[in-house]
Amino acid sequence: MSTFRRRVDIVTCEGHGEGEVRAALEDDFHHFRVWAKYQAGALIAVGGEAIRYPYTACLQATEPLERLVGMQLSRVAHSVTRQTDATHQCTHLLDLAGLAIAAAARQSRKRRYDIEIPGRVDNRTIARLTRDQDWKLNWSVNGPLIEAPKAYAGVNLREGMARWALQTLSEEEAEAALILRRCTLISLGRERDLDRQTHAVPSGLCFSQQPERAEQAIRIKGSTWDFGSSQEQLCASDQDWLNSQGS
C-alpha cells in the first residue's frame, strides 16, 4: 500500500519594520502556496495560490484568506480559526496560513515539516513527522486512536484533539501534533479511488464542500499523485518562489 507524504516549507524575511513570510505545502492530494505581509505585529496582507487541487472550486478558495487581514501575529498556528470560520475556508490553505503567521510571530527564518503515513494494515499505521531534519514525532495509530507513545496514548484524532494538544503540549509540539493529526486523517484518502467522484461532497466542512457550491466543485481527475518513493520532489518547484522575497 502507498505511503502518504506531505512537506511544508516556510521562509520568513523581515526588514524596515515589516516583514513577509511565504509557505508552501505539497502532498498526494494538494499543492498550495500562501504569502503574508505584516507590520507592527499585525497582518496587513495575505494571499494564496492553488497549484494542484482536488476540485475546481478550490481555485477560488484563496480569496477567503483575506478575512485574516488585521489579526495580530500569534505564535499559535491554530489561532487563525478564531479569526475566521474554518468551514468557509480551504482547510489546507488555512492551516498553511496559520503556520506562516506563527513562523512570523516567532521570527523563525526557515522551517520544514516532512510527514509520512504508511498504508494501514489491520487498521494500524505508524504516523511520522520530522521538523527541520532532526526533531521527530512518531505515533502508533489504531483507527482514530493513538496507542503510543505514552504521552499521547488514548488521544482520539477525531474528537477533542486540538483542545487537548493546545492545553497539554508545548507551543511548538502542539503545532507539530496538529499537523500530524491532519495528515493521519487525510491519508485515508489513499485507500479510496477519489477519481470516481464527480464533484465535492456537500458536507459543509470546507470551502468546496459548502452545499451552495459542492455540485459545481467538479472533481479534477488525476490530481492525486504518489510521492511514496520520491519525497525529494515535494515542494521542489517552490524553492525559487520561497526564497525570492525581498530580492
Average pLDDT taken over every residue of the chain: 95
Can you give the pLDDT at residue 18? 85
pLDDT tens, residue by residue, 116-156: 999 999 999 999 999 999 999 999 999 999 999 999 999 99
Burial of 62: CB neighbours in 10 Å, binned 0-12, 13-18, 19+: buried
Residues paired with residue 202 on neighbouring β-strands, in sequence order: none
CA pair distance 208, 167, nearest whole angstrom: 31
**For the segment 181-212, what is each residue's pLDDT rounded down to a tens digit?**
999 999 999 998 999 999 999 999 999 999 99
Q: Residue 116 class from Cβ within 10 Å (0-12 exposed, 13-18 middle, 19+ buried)?
A: buried
- Per residue in 121-132, pLDDT tens? 999 999 999 999
Give the whole-angstrom CA distance, residue 138 versus residue 151. 11
CA distance 143 to 156: 9
Terminal-to-terminal C-alpha distance of the chain: 43
pLDDT tens across 27-61, in order?
999 999 999 999 999 999 999 999 999 999 999 99
Q: Cα–Cα distance between 98 and 68 in angstroms, integer?
A: 10
